[in-house]
Structures are given as C-alpha cells and as structure tokens.
A and B are shown apart, each in its own frame.
Chain A
Amino acid sequence: MFKSGLAARAAAGVTAALISGAAWAEEARSQYNLPVGATEISREVYWLHNFVLIIMCVIAVLVFGAMFYSIIAHRRSKHPKPADFHESTTVEIIWTIIPFFVLIGLAIPAAGTLIRMEDTRDAELTVKVTGFQWGWKYEYVGHDYEFVSMLAADSNKARQLDSGIDPRSVPNYLWEVTNPLVLPVGQKVRFLITAQDVIHAWWVFDLAVKKDAIPGYINEAWTKIDAPGTFRGVCAELCGRDHGFMPIVVKALPETEFKTWLAQKKGVDVASLGKAPPVAEATPVATTTSTAPAPTEAVAAAVEVAAATPVAAAPAKALTKDELMASGKKVYGTQCAACHQLTGLGMPPNFPSLVGSKIATGPAAAHIAHTLKGKGLMPPFASLSDLDIAGALSYQRNSWGNKASVVQPSEVAAARK
C-alpha cells in the first residue's frame, strides 16, 4: 500500500511500529499504526490488522509490479508492435479463483475474533455508559453509583476559537476528562452503551472497543484489561457541534484498589447527590495522568475529590440563596459554561448571552423547563439532579447583574412531573 510519494516515510513508520511491538506502544502511541492495546482482544485485532495489511501489500507488489513492468517495457519506443491477444479463459478463471481463496484465508481468523468480541457473557462488573451532548455518564450497575465525565477544563479553555492558548502547552490536549472511568484490572467488564439525545460512539483505542450509543437502545461490549494504566478514547460518531470534544479516559486499577475506590465513592456520593461531577479545577486527575500515575495515588486523589464535594442532606428543605449560589456556581462552571461561558456572555450568535436574558430573569418555571428540555443546540439537562439544576439556575438568575428569584430543588422536582 505504500506507493505514494510518501512511500519511504510510510514504510519506515509501519515497520517501526511492527517491529517494536507492544513495549514501544505503551510508552508512546504509534503515529502510524493501530495501538497494540492493553487487552487480549486488542492484540488480536492488532495482529489481524497487520496480517491484512501485509497481504494487501503483497498483492499490491504483484499487481503494481506487473503494471509498472509493462509501462516501462511495453512503451512504444521499446515495443512498437502491439500483440493482439485479448482473451484467455484460463487466465481469467485463475485470477478469479485465487483472490477468492485469499479472501477465505482472511475471513476465517476475522470471524473468529469477531465472535469472541461479541461474547459478552459472564461479566463480573457491568458499567452503563450513556452519551449525551457532549459528555458521558457512567453508572456502575448494581453499585448504585454514577457520575458524569466531560472535557477537562484546561483543554476546554484552550480549544475555544481564538483562545490564545497553544494546545501544545496543554497536557493530553482534548484527551483529558473531568472524571475518568475507573475499572478493575483482570475482570471481564461489560458495558451497556446508550445515549440520551443523539447517537454517539464510545471508543477507547487501547481496549479496541468501539460501539455506537443509540438513544433508546442498548449496545453491549466488553473488555478485560491486563494491567493498570490510563487508556484514552473519544466519541466516534458525529454528534453535533462539540463532537470533537467529548473524550473518554479509562483508569484501570488492580482489583482490590478498585474495590476500595468504589466503596469510598459510594460511601460519600450515594448519601448525597451523586450526579454532580466534581468541579474541574479541583480534579487532580488532569495532572496525574499525563505521566503514568501510580494507581494508589489516583485512588487517593479520587477520594480527596469525593470528600471535597459539598455534602448536603437530601434537599427536602428549602436552601438559602447562598447555599444555592455556592453549589450553583460549580455546576454552572462544569455544565453550562462550555457554551454560555463563565462570564455569562455566551458566544453569540450560537450561544446566547444569559446576561439580562428574558428567560434567565423571567419566571422560574420557563427557565426550569428550558433547562430540562433543552432547545436547538442546547442539550436537555434532565440528567442533572434537582439540586444541581436549582443551583445552576439560581446562579444564573443572580449573577452578572441579573436579579431574579432563586430556584429551589423542589420546584425542579415539581417541574419534572
């Protein structure tokens, strides 16, 4: 396949990737080839890819060899009198049959791998993954724990049009999230993948898992990670404006550490509100993952974050304006500011300013309905908790010179009905 002007560079690259294999790929991702990955399946896929690639190269050499030989040897100056054969049933049958057998040779191992990839039985842990515009929600099924994961703040800042920030200065630019998905090593983990609004696709390069997230339906996939590490991925189905900005980060922890991690998370979050992601700035993950982190450190970090999350009793009682503004500011920062900006000025014409906005200073009911349902480019936020929505709205209604009533969680709850 390397017949272009880039042939030399290409060939060198692929050979390098092929030869240096797994060890090389763990340190830095290959610039030229598929990642070898961190699971048995991903290595099978990698092997299959190389296998097909090599066969294609062999066929290419033969076909193009004949063609270029003919171009050179049978040009008019060399070969003035053309032959006049124009048919040969034998030859034609041969070159129909041979490719057919080559294809069978490719199809057999491919089918084997495919069958193994689709076998989601006997999983030890199930994680439900829900894509939304533009982030992911993860739910540890049966453990009553879930959280939301979005593009990390520093990438998000740098990626704005004319941000003035050099992406090269941002570690893991566009490949960092607020909350990574944490998984145990050595266990078969089943993913139930779905979406809230439009189709997304959950793809982690090193796990060789890519499955579309279809609203209203559930797709299954599985993985079994060999060793602790951080694995990255992206949304791989066009899902609107910020399709390019909904990465995925998976952190694999040894089984026992994973257990502690989950227990701690549940202990803290389940009692409180659970769904709000910790504020991006407070997440140390962004810095620890750029170099392969010691797993324990990550756990510690995660716990720290969890503990820092404001703990409030189930919000039956009315909250004070200050409480709402404080928690709302954080929710606003993680959920709304991507579009409406921290200044509230938005990015007209696509994302309207909230400063003095009729909806954000008008009746609360309309404001709540707008947020729950979304409108146009704005996604629905019904997946946030009542408290989060109440906070974010209260914050919007009383910042940047806006002056309007605060919104209580109970109002949001009522609006949901």
Chain B
Amino acid sequence: MSSHAPTASANTRYFVPDPSAWPFLLTAGLVAIILGAWSALEDKSLGSIPVYLGIAVSAFIIFRWFRGVALESEHGKYNKQVDTTFRMGMAWFIFSEVMFFAAFFGALYYARSLSVPWIGGEGAKGVANIEWPGFEASWPTNGPAALGGAFTNMSAWGLPFVNTCLLLTSGITITLAHHALKDNKRTACIVWMWATVALGAIFLYCQVVEYIHAYKELNLTLGSGVYGSTFFMLTGFHGMHVTLGTLMLFVITCRLMKGHFKPDSHFGFEGVAWYWHFVDVVWVGLFIFVYIL
C-alpha cells in the first residue's frame, strides 16, 4: 500500500469535478450544426433548423460550462495545481492553434514560392509551363486561367495598416489592464479592458469594410485563384479568432465588473490575454506575409 502525504485538507486536494452532462450535450450541439451544414452544402433536405438549434445548444452549454468553471473558481475550489493545469492547458491549446495557422501559411508559401513559379516556367519543375503557355509567374495571381477575373490586390498601407495599429495598441492596453489588476487598481483595469474590447471591435469593423471593398471594388474574392484563396482563408480565420477573442475579452470584462478575479489569482484573465496576444502575433505574420510581401 502506498503511504500518503500527511493530512490532506480540502483545498490542497486537486479538484475533481462531479459527473457532468455538459460535454455530451456540447457534442450533440456540434453534431446538429454539422448535419445542418452538410445539408446546406449537399442535398438541402434538412433546412436551416439544425444549424440554429445546434448553435443555440452549443452556445448555451458553453455559457453554462464556463460559468460553472468561473463559479468553482470563485468559490475557491481550485488550488495552485489546478491553476497550473489551466495555464498549461491554455498554452498547449494556443500551440495547436498556431499549428492550424501554420497549415495555411504553409499553403501560402508553397503557392508563392513553388507552384506559381513552376506553372510560370521557372524553377526545377518549370516544364509545367507547357500546359499553360503564355502564363508568367507573378504574385499576386489568380492563376493561368485567371479564375474569378481580373482583380486588384489589397494594398497594405490602407486599412490593413490601420488594423495593425489597432491590434498592436490593443496588445498594449490589455497589458496595462493586467498590470492594473495585479496592482489591485480595479477601475483602471476595467477601463483598459473596455478599451481593448473596443479596439478589437473596431478591428473587426475595418475588416468587414475591407472585405466589402475587396468584393465590390477590387473584384478580389475567394474565387480569385490561389491569391484570393490564401488571402481570405488566412485573414478570415484570423478574423474568426479575433471575434472569439473579443467575445472572451467582453466576458472577462463583465466578470471584472462583477468583482471576479484577485490580484494574485486570475487565470481566466490571463488565459484570455494570452489568446489575445496570440491573435495579435498571427496578425503581424499576416501583415508581413500576406499584405506587405
């Protein structure tokens, strides 16, 4: 028999939650969304109800789940070790997100540096040009078949530059909020947080304006060959992450206003801040590789 550490009091024990139906219901919600999406893409037999139902169920469960965690945390169920778990968990989750973006950055690299030059007759596999006479490699491009018709590419120094400034500033404001929280200056923290939320929201607004501009005036669409594909998929997935991040910031700010979090224990806050920085860094990558270069 194993010998035990001396008397384990309640809060030195690692918190093990009670059985829970949340995960199962969340899966059910996701599956409903999937069935709806499948039907929308293919045979249209199910209509849109499953999607809405699924989104509603999932959103509700996510809300309940996170609320549950917040309450457990506020009731002091979590000890230091649980805190470490959350930190590590968040860090690894963000790493997995980085790898998701890596796939699309990889696609961008491959298209720009390999496949487009090859069909343009350059490089080791340049014979491919026989299939596409007259096509010369350049970037941006919508390919030898000029898919989607002539387009203008998105200039880096208009809205995208503004957006870069917005996000970088939001990185600063959230750091200021964090310091304020640590110094127990709650009001300052909340103000900085609202600033961050606002910056995120303005970013999203600009992004929508940019997309409309691209579609309406530049004729730059998802269908504009591989440039359009990489441009919209990278910025689009980034935009989704900003949306999510802004929502999370919003929730955290509300929790701050309800008095949650302590100067020395506020993982929820930090996790969101990490996520926000991640979104920020991805944007810098996008700005350099998608817009400038």
Contact = CB atoms under 8 A, between A and B. Distances in A.
Whether chain A touches chain B in the assembled complex (some CB pair under 8 Å): yes
Contacts of A218: 125, 127-128, 130-131
Nearest to B132: A216
A2 interface: no
B118 interface: yes
B37 to A, nearest CB: 21
Interface string A202-229: 0000000000000011111000000000
A36 interface: no
A133 interface: no
- Binding site of A, secondary structure by majority: helix, strand, loop or mixed? strand
Interface residues of A, number: 7
Interface string B122-134: 0001011011100
B119 interface: yes
Contact of B118 (A192, A194, A217): A217
A216 B127 contact: no
B119 A192 contact: no
B42 to A, nearest CB: 13
Nearest to B129: A218
Interface in B116-168: 118-119, 125, 127-128, 130-132
B175 to A, nearest CB: 47
Interface string A119-132: 00000000000000
Interface in A213-247: 216-220
Interface string A256-291: 000000000000000000000000000000000000
Contacts of A219: 125
Contacts of B125: 217-219
Contacts of A194: 131
A220 B132 CA distance: 16
Nearest to A130: B131
A220 B127 contact: yes
Going nearest first, the 4 A-B pairs with the smallest beta carbon separation are A217-B128, A218-B127, A218-B128, A218-B130
Interface of A: 192, 194, 216-220
Given A194-B131, A220-B127, 5 more contacts: A192-B127, A217-B118, A217-B119, A217-B125, A217-B128
11 contacts: A192-B127, A194-B131, A216-B119, A216-B128, A216-B132, A217-B131, A218-B127, A218-B128, A218-B131, A219-B125, A220-B127
